[in-house]
Amino acid sequence: MVAHDTGPGAAAVTAESVRRTYHLAEPVHAVDGVSLSLGEGSFTAVMGPSGSGKSTLMNLVGCLDTPDEGRLEVGGRSVGELSDTERARLRGTEIGFVFQTFNLMPRLTAIENVRLPMVFHDGVGADRQERARSLLERVGLGDRLEHEPSELSGGQRQRVALARALANEPTLVLADEPTGNLDTETEAEIMELLVDLNEAGATILLVTHERAVAEYADHVVHLLDGEIASLEHLSGARDVTAREKATEGAGNRRSTGEGEA
């Protein structure tokens, strides 16, 4: 019920009372009235137990899903009002995904994988090949350009995925358990890389259930039963703020929230 004001600077993502309901045997509010604002250049981790709504929040912020209620803005555009194709374009231009299972295209080389978002987004007509090469060099894979994913180690694959996420200079990099399939040493490398990217200006939203991983971020959002349980600032300097709005609706929603996972 505590309202947090948005910090200085423009917000990359703004969520206002966002709610997503799945109609199973009974309605389940996977995300239940979340209000959150991610400032540009911030590094935020989302933590919570299984079924707390991390994935659904991720899908919503990633424009793969649309909110049933509330308003969600990504890159200044309201996600709920966009058509399917417009959301696809928005994903291509404003968001870079990094997945736990890397999700590289198996038959494309590293550099082709990095080029893929540029290929789907014809707007970046500039030299795709050159840009893809420089992105791979940035993540330390300048000598692995023509390797297929099967010829790369887990850590290297995740680096390719990171380079791909940055292909269209997105507003936000969404990392869903990016180190879940990696050993501790590689985990540290990838996290350092994320921190580097963040320090170079990228906005990062990281989903994890490991405290150690979350601590690379500046802020940690704790989710429980689809709601923001608390917002923790690891270093106060960033302009990330979560707001839980004390609205009339919020109270009503809480009273119907028995079916939440």
Residue type, 109: T
- For residue 99, state whether it binds another protein (rule: CB under 8 A): yes
Question: How far, in Å, CA of 56 to CA of 67, rounded?
Answer: 10
Which tokens go with 42?
């911030």
Q: Which residues pair with 223 in a beta bridge?
A: 228
- Site map for another protein, 137-176, x if CB under 8 A? ---------------------------x--xx--------
- For residue 89, state whether it binds another protein (rule: CB under 8 A): yes
b or e along 48-81 (b: 16 or more beta carbons within 10 Å of the residue's beta carbon)? Answer: beebbbbbbbbbbbbbbbbbbbbebbbbebebbe
- For residue 106, state whether it binds another protein (rule: CB under 8 A): yes
Q: Which of 82, 88, 250, 261 binds another protein (CB under 8 A)?
A: 88
In the chain, what is the straight-line distance between the N-terminal and C-terminal CA atoms, in Å?
21
- Site residues for another protein, 178-237, by CB under 8 A, read none
Q: Which of 19, 54, 91, 131 binds another protein (CB under 8 A)?
A: 91
Q: How far is the CB of 123 from another protein (least distance, A)?
A: 10
Q: Which residues pair with 32 in a beta bridge?
A: 19
Q: Which of 103, 181, 186, 247 binds another protein (CB under 8 A)?
A: 103
Residue 52 or 241 having the CB closest to another protein: 52
Distances (CA, A) of 59 to 63, 129, 138: 6, 29, 27
Binding-site ranges for another protein (CB under 8 A): 59, 62, 64-65, 84-85, 88-89, 91-93, 96-97, 99, 103-108, 112, 116-117, 119-122, 164, 167-168
